[in-house]
Every structure is written in structure tokens, then in C-alpha cells.
Amino acid sequence: MKWALISVWDKRGIVELARALAGHGVGILSSGGTGRLLREAGIGFTEVAAYTGSPEMMDGRVKTLHPRVHGGLLGRRGIDDPAMSEHGIHPIDLLVANLYPFEDMSATISDLAELTEYIDIGGPAMIRAAAKNFRNVAVVTSPADYGQVLDALAAGGFSQEQRFELAKKAFALTAAYDAAISNHFQRIGRDLPEIFSIQVRNGRRLRYGENPHQKGAVFGETGIAAAVPLQGKEMSYNNYLDLHAAAGLIREFDEPATVIVKHNNPCGVAVGNHVLEAYVRARDVDPVSAYGSVVAVNREVGLPLAEEICSTFVEVLAAPSFTPDALEAMERKENMRVLVLPGPVSGPEFRTIDGGLLLQETPPYREHWKVITDRDATPDELTALTLAWKVCKHTRSNTIIFADRQRTLGIGAGQMSRVDAAKIAIDKSLFSLVGSVVASDAFLPFPDTLEIAAAAGATALIQPGGSIRDAEVIAAANTLSMAMIFTGVRYFRH
């Protein structure tokens, strides 16, 4: 390693790295702010402008865009040596570079002319050049990898494998950088972009996909996608899907609550004075379905709850935190994954379809609850309707939810007919539905679903409203003395 070019925006650790390079006799090229920092630290280097014979110009826009720089990065050893010698080009063995923080600045700078000054040109060009020539050049784009440089200095250089791994990181960086710029520009003047670029990191292979004959992986550095067990088996493809569903629903509750999910749908949801009470209530809504489920709670798991959960088979348990004795008690359940429940991550939602993606965003909105029947809901009914509506939002369509003040009583999910969803919810219930309430994720096109619910004992119903037959449904509710609320917001979930 004879020559290194250092040009970084993020200057963490750069002085120490440069000092180590200089100590091993490596010549350093640098410019701009990086050069000033090295000069202040007393580290000798060659100014890029002095090396190229071309001054830095245009307020720093042009510094490294020169054949003597890019020739040094792209020159193939043993092939391009004559051309390099003819034009006075030094082979550059190491590039240490990172980029102007466009994405961070785009969150705070609204003026486009000001923001475009944070679009790095020379940096990506050098990084791509070095990465293309990885057989001869090592490219380091993160302070986290400076340790590799120190190891290489001690070992006499980078191996081919190390240079290739660094090149992969480099191309990922420039791809993400260009994607951030493109996405920002695509948003200007549009509610939704015409082109959207995505890069996800932290990929981990799973044992298989939804089924053993399918391959699977998970990608992501935040939220559910980044969650890994504190103890227990590795997460599966389906575990991640169910945990995502459970997390979305448990975040609806402020009071102690438990959500139990099976095959991407809640099978039991309950609240209580404490989380143990909520868990037992939720499990007992449908104990058969709760077997082998994903459980999410919104309070710390202590020893009593841990022992109760261990009394049956649970695939995944997620909570904000766990007491040490709870973790110790759950260790005997070797197959149960135990995770810290991560906070929500904002951003668009994506789903794949044949040939492309669906993108969805949820802007801020408000429901407008309105009583549209002769009878208003009682306080107890209103509490139960609130719980049922929360669950409805996170259950596959068509869905009908029966509930009381403390728990779901019957869940009919993923049906083509709303009437069938109501019948399934009634059939699944292990409790009396007399005095219960009902939630429907979309409007009732006919009175039949309401009449079936009333016959089962329900006294109040909540739905979005908006059917051309709303008047018929309202009339039926009044005839049956049911209270009915329209929310004005539909929650289809496909």
C-alpha cells in the first residue's frame, strides 16, 4: 500500500486513520476540509490540487474530477502502467471516502437550490471508480471499517476477498445515495412519485419462506424487520408476518392489553387492570387458536405472566421489556422466541404483485364518529365499540368483531361475505353474546348482518357508513333498538 486518497464528509476517526497510514509510509492525497483537519493534526499529505496541477474551483464543486485522480483509481496494474507513467499518474491503493449528507439535509432544508449543494458528485465518482477496480484498490466508505485498514497495514495489504467485500459496500452506498436524491426529486410537485427507488439492508436468510419448499430472507435495520430474539429459536418468515400484525394492533392500546395473532389475524384481544389479566382474557377468547400463536403485550413481562405463558405453547412473545426472573423462567421453553417489541417505523407501505409493487401512504386523518340511530350508545357500549373497532382495523376483510368492554368475543375474518363473517364470529364465540357490540370494517350493504348480530344478542354496532342502503340499515337498527355509530373511515385489509 503506497498511496491513499482521503476525502470525507464524516470525519470521525479520520485523523487516527491518517496517522496510522502515514506511520506505515503510505503517501496521502487529500483536499478541502479533510486536508485542513490533517494539517491541523500535523499529518503530512499532498494536496490534490498540487498533485493534479488543477486548482480547486467553483466553491469546491470541482476538486477531484481529474484524470490523475481517476486514472490512479481506475488504472489496472500490469495493463495500464504505460499510460499511467506517461501522464504522471500515481496508482492509488486505498480510497477513504464518504458523501455529503443529502438525505439528512433534505429533512431540514426546503430550498431546492440550497439542498442541491449537498449532492455529492466527486465522492460517488471516486467511490465507483475504486469499487470497479477492486482487484487493485481498496475502497473504505464507513468509519466502522477503519479497523480493517489498520489490520491490512499490519498484514501487508488487503486480500482479494476483503477488497471485494468493501466494493460491495461501496456500490450499495452509491446506489442508496442516488436513490435518496431521486426519491426526493420525484416527490417535488407530486403527492406520490412516478419512480420510487428502494434499498433495504441487514438481509438475513431464514430457514425457508412461508413453506419449507420456498426460500426466504428478511431485510431491514429498524422496526419489526430488525427484531431478533433475546432467546429461543430464530424467527421464521411467518413469525415476522404475524409479529408485524400483532405489533400494529397492540399499539392501538394505552391501557394494559394483549394481542394474540394466528395466521396474520387476531384470535384474541383483551385489556385488563394489569397485563396478566389481559393475557388470560385474550387467550381464553379462543384457546385452541391461541396454541402456537404470536403474543404481543404492551407492558413489561414479569414472572407471573411468564409462567402463565409458559403453561401453553406460544411461538413468539413480544413485549416492551422483561424482568430478569421472567427471562430465566422462559429459558426452559427453548422453542419460544422472546423479543423486545420495537417502536413503530414511519414511511410508505409496499406490497409485491406480479411485475411490480403497490405503494400506500396514510396521511394524517380523523375519524368522525356519529350516532345515526334513535338510541345513543351507553358508556359501556361505547367502551366496547372502541375496543372492537381497534381490532377491526387490523383484521383481514371482510371482518366482523363481537366484543365487550374487556375483550373480543368472536372474530370472523377474511370472508368474501360479510354475513358469513358474522356467522363465523358467532360460531367461534365461547361466551354469551347477549349485551355484546359489533364492529364491521366496511359499510353494511344490507340489514342482514345487523339482524344476525342482533339475534345473537348484540345491542350496538359500529361501521364506516356510506352504503346506498344506509337508510334501510338505520331503520333496521331502530326497529331492533340497536345503537349504531358511523365512523366515516373504512378499514379494508387485504
Say if residue 27 is in the same domain as residue 96. yes
Nearest to 429 by CA among 405, 401, 450, 391: 401
Contact between 446 and 423 (Cβ < 8 Å) = no
**347 in a domain, yes or no?**
no
Question: ∠ CA 24-27-29 to the nearest 5 degrees?
Answer: 140
Choose the weakest-confidence range: 51-55, 298-302, 376-380, 466-470.
Answer: 51-55
Nearest to 399 by CA among 390, 407, 430, 139: 390
**220 in a domain, yes or no?**
no
Boundary (domain end) residue, out of 187, 217, 250 = 187
Catalytic: which of 132, 169, 233, 393?
Answer: 132
Strand stretches in 298-421, DSSP E: 314-319, 337-340, 349-353, 356-360, 370-371, 400-403, 408-412
**446 in a domain, yes or no?**
yes
Which whole number is the average pLDDT over 24-34? 90
**311 in a domain, yes or no?**
yes
How high is the pLDDT of residue 478?
98
- 1 pLDDT exceeds 70? no
**206 in a domain, yes or no?**
no
Say if residue 33 is in the same domain as residue 156. yes
Amino acid at site 227 = A
Say if residue 41 is in the same domain as residue 165. yes
Boundary (domain end) residue, out of 320, 340, 360 = 340
Hey, CA dihedral for 15, 17, 21, 24, is it positive or negative?
positive
The residues near 277 (Cβ < 8 Å, ≥ 6 apart) are 256
pLDDT band at 271 (very low <50, low <70, confident <90, very high): very high
- 66 pLDDT exceeds 90? no
- The answer to whether residue 263 is catalytic is yes
**194 in a domain, yes or no?**
no
Rg (CA), the chain: 30
Say if residue 84 is in the same domain as residue 35. yes
Count CB atoms within 10 A of the CB of residue 293: 26
> For 69-113, how does the pLDDT look when each residue is reduced to its tens digit (9 = 90+)?
899 999 999 898 899 899 889 999 999 999 988 888 888 888 888
Q: Distance between CA atoms of 152 and 245, rounded to whole angstroms? A: 46
Say if residue 39 is in the same domain as residue 125. yes
Q: Distance between CA atoms of 434 and 413, rounded to whole angstroms? A: 21
- 63 pLDDT exceeds 90? no
**Residue 167 belongs to a domain with what CATH number?**
3.40.50.1380
Amino acid at site 447 = P
- 57 pLDDT exceeds 80? no
**Residue 264 belongs to a domain with what CATH number?**
3.40.140.20
> For 36-52, how does the pLDDT look when each residue is reduced to its tens digit (9 = 90+)?
999 999 999 998 888 88
Q: Distance between CA atoms of 490 and 494, rounded to whole angstroms? A: 13
- 65 pLDDT exceeds 90? no
Query: What are the backbone angles phi and psi of residue 461, rounded to the nearest 5°?
Result: -145, 145
| Residue predicted with more confidence, 99 or 54 | 99
Say if residue 235 is in the same domain as residue 181. no
Please give the mean pLDDT across all residues of the chain: 94
How high is the pLDDT of residue 32?
82
Say if residue 421 is in the same domain as residue 292. no
User: Residue 223 to residues 206, 226, 247: CA-CA distances in angstroms?
Assistant: 17, 6, 10
Q: pTM for this structure? A: 0.89
C-alpha grid cell, residue 96: 477513504
Grid cell 384474541 — which residue? 268
- 191 pLDDT exceeds 90? no
- 64 pLDDT exceeds 80? no
Full domain range(s) for residue 446: 370-486
**381 in a domain, yes or no?**
yes
Say if residue 240 is in the same domain as residue 109. no
Say if residue 301 is in the same domain as residue 419. no
Say if residue 248 is in the same domain as residue 136. no
**90 in a domain, yes or no?**
yes
Boundary (domain end) residue, out of 136, 159, 187 = 187
Say if residue 318 is in the same domain as residue 453. no
Say if residue 394 is in the same domain as residue 476. yes
Task: Name, of 19-28, 68-77, 256-265, the range with top average pLDDT.
Answer: 256-265
Contact between 421 and 412 (Cβ < 8 Å) = yes
Percent of the chain with pLDDT over 90: 83
How high is the pLDDT of residue 178?
94
C-alpha grid cell, residue 465: 357508513
Contact between 373 and 386 (Cβ < 8 Å) = no
Contact between 97 and 8 (Cβ < 8 Å) = yes
Q: Distance between CA atoms of 253 and 244, rounded to whole angstroms? A: 16
Q: Could you tell me if residue 488 is left (phi over 0), alpha (psi between -120 and 50 degrees) or otherwise beta?
A: left
Catalytic: which of 24, 169, 244, 263?
Answer: 263
Nearest to 72 by CA among 85, 94, 91: 91
C-alpha grid cell, residue 475: 331503520
Amino acid at site 38 = L
Total count of domains within the chain: 3
Which whole number is the average pLDDT over 165-177? 96
How high is the pLDDT of residue 59?
74
CA 193 to chain centre: 20
Q: Distance between CA atoms of 242 and 261, rounded to whole angstroms? A: 6
User: Residue 146 to residues 36, 149, 152, 166: CA-CA distances in angstroms?
Assistant: 20, 5, 10, 11
